[in-house]
Amino acid sequence: MEMQHVLSADQFSRSDLNHILSRSAEMEEILKKGGSKICDGRILGALFYEPSTRTRLSFETAMMRLGGNVVSETDVNFSSITKGEVIEDTIRMVGGYTDIIAIRTKTKGQANIAAQYSPVPVMNGGDGAGEHPTQSLLDLYTIAKHHRIGDEPLKVAFVGDLKYGRTVHSLAKVLRHFDGVELSFVAPEVIQMPTEYTQAGDNVSYDLSSEILQNSDVIYDTRMQQERFEDMEKFREVRDSFIFTPEIVGQMKSSAILMHPLPRVNEIKQSVDAMPQAKYFEQAQNGVPVRMALIAELLKA
Ligand code: CP
């Protein structure tokens, strides 16, 4: 598999996705044995200009489990960006210090700009309301652990903030590669899936109906992205549109899975966590082997 950067879910072919799934499974086995040293002497630069727990820490853990090291910039207030440095210059510098960069930015498209100026591979850890391609791969890996994706019909319902929730943009693109996948988008109109990510044949709905709850194989819920709303009144109108309680999740098939990229706020009650459908913590855990696989591929390790 030839890959210079990870910037968008658009870049992956079906064969790339199969390769990443298989390499991630290998990494999961390596993790059980305590990790490896294939990235000994290599350094990851983690530049996170928006808050993150899972993405940054799983990238850093992945590099360390491969035997490498990490340098991080996690608070824009302590970055020279605050003095007016442009991202192009920051990336040139960090690319001179490190072997690979993971970056999260507030603005859509900045990971692509970073890649243009970087002397080393760049991984997009989320660019504003744009994409989150590495998340889509760990999401795919999680789905593939529970369903025979591509070999049997699979109904996937995306629920919540589909306009600003970048993880759903990337995952919808990735799922298009697999036969038999049917996508439903469930959101209030003001935060429905942007048309650039939809196709003829998708189901668009403003309510979470019993039919969707009872028939979906995967329900992928997302947080209302308060920080991206320009109008707080609109945010207040939609923020509690869908709340997953044990009664709601109890309507799902026993084989169905409930996913969420996390963090959740109040859209999934903690009382759901012990239910068999709840897979969001397992999903977050899968970030480590999948990001190990991506780092190893990009560094040809
Ligand atoms: N899923 C995800 O991107 O989580 P963080 O914002 O904590 O990185």
Q: Is 239 a catalytic residue?
A: no
pLDDT digits (tens, 9 = 90+) for 214-235: 999 999 999 999 999 999 999 9
Residue type, 226: Q
Beta bridge pairs of residue 72? 46
pLDDT for the residue 75: 85
Banded model confidence at residue 181, pLDDT cuts 50, 70, 90: very high
Identify whether 55 is a catalytic site residue.
yes
pLDDT of residue 78: 86
> Residue 22: which residues within 8 A CB-CB, separation 6 or more?
none
Nearest to 218 by CA among 260, 267, 179, 263: 260
Domain ranges of the chain: 9-132+287-298, 134-284
CATH number of 9-132+287-298: 3.40.50.1370
250 close to ligand 1 (CB < 6 Angstrom): no
pLDDT per residue over 39-69, tens digit each?
999 999 999 999 999 999 999 999 999 999 9
For residue 98, indicate whether it is catalytic.
no
pTM (2 decimals)? 0.96
Please state the rounded mean pLDDT for residues 22-30: 98
Mean pLDDT of 237-252: 96
Instruction: Of 14-18, 139-143, 180-184, 226-230, give the lowest mean pLDDT range.
Output: 226-230
Using the mean position of ligand 1's atoms as its centre, give its distance from the Cα of residue 55 in Å: 5
Q: Is 147 a catalytic site residue?
A: no
Q: Rounded to the nearest whole angstrom, what is the distance from the C-alpha of residue 125 to the centroid of ligand 1?
A: 9
pLDDT of the residue at 76: 85
Higher pLDDT, 2 or 19: 19
Give the pLDDT of residue 28.
98
Q: Atom 3, ligand 1: which residue's CA is nearest?
A: 55
pLDDT at 194: 96
Using a 6 Å cutoff on CB, does residue 281 contact ligand 1?
A: no
Confidence class of residue 264 from pLDDT cuts 50, 70 and 90?
very high
Q: How far is the CA of 151 from the centre of ligand 1 (A)?
A: 30
Same fold, 9-132+287-298 and 134-284: yes
Q: Which CATH architecture has domain 134-284?
A: 3-Layer(aba) Sandwich (3.40)
Summarize pLDDT for 113-159 with one digit per residue, the tens: 999 999 999 999 999 999 999 999 999 999 999 999 999 999 999 99
**Alpha-carbon gap, residue 260 to 263, rounded angstroms:** 8
Q: How many CA atoms lie within 13 A of 107 on its CB side?
A: 6
How far apart are the C-alpha atoms of 292 and 71, rounded to whole Å? 16
**Residue 55 Cβ < 6 Å to ligand 1:** yes
pLDDT at 185 over 90: yes
Residue 209, φ and ψ in degrees, nearest 5: -80, 160
